Amino acid sequence: MSAATATRDAPARLDGAGDPLDVTDRGRTRIADRVVEKIAARAVAEIDRAAGVPGRVLGVRLGSTGPDTRARVDADVDGRVVTVRVSMAVRWPASVRAVTRQVRAHVAERLQALTGLRVEQVDIDVPTLLVATDDEDRRVS
């Protein structure tokens, strides 16, 4: 083999006894619930006809729904498994079932791709239907 085509393997890292280190011995990564929530909220925003919802206190809506309003997301990470709860609105006249199906699949795919976590379930609550107007979205009761 010529010098131009020769390849060398990188030397393996060794532990104190001279044995190669296992990948799992290099440390551990913990992904916080809040990080998963932010990724999931962004994934919801990537779906056409899905929208965020304003916060509520004692059943009273705080603020309005605009283009910057994100879906509310709560996530529980348990080891390498995550459960996600999403509260979002759907824009009229889209099918609520079709939009939530897209959101559920997209959130699970994005979380798995970006974190490596296994998504056990994505629960979705749709408390609001939005009707678009010229200036802003309106809530339909």
Q: Contact at 8 Å (CB) between 132 and 57?
A: no
Structure tokens, 12: 């393996």
Q: Contact at 8 Å (CB) between 44 and 86?
A: yes
- Cα distance between residue 2 and residue 58, in whole Å: 76
Q: Contact at 8 Å (CB) between 127 and 87?
A: yes
- Condensed to tens digits (0 to 9), the pLDDT of residues 109-139 reads 999 999 999 999 999 999 888 886 644 445 5
Average pLDDT over residues 22-40: 85
List of domains in the chain: 29-140 (3.30.70.1350)
Dihedral angle over CA of 73, 120, 125, 90, nearest 10: 80
Q: Contact at 8 Å (CB) between 103 and 118?
A: no
Q: Which pLDDT belongs to residue 16?
A: 59
Average pLDDT over residues 62-87: 85
Query: Best-predicted range by mean pLDDT among 15-19, 51-55, 110-114?
Result: 110-114
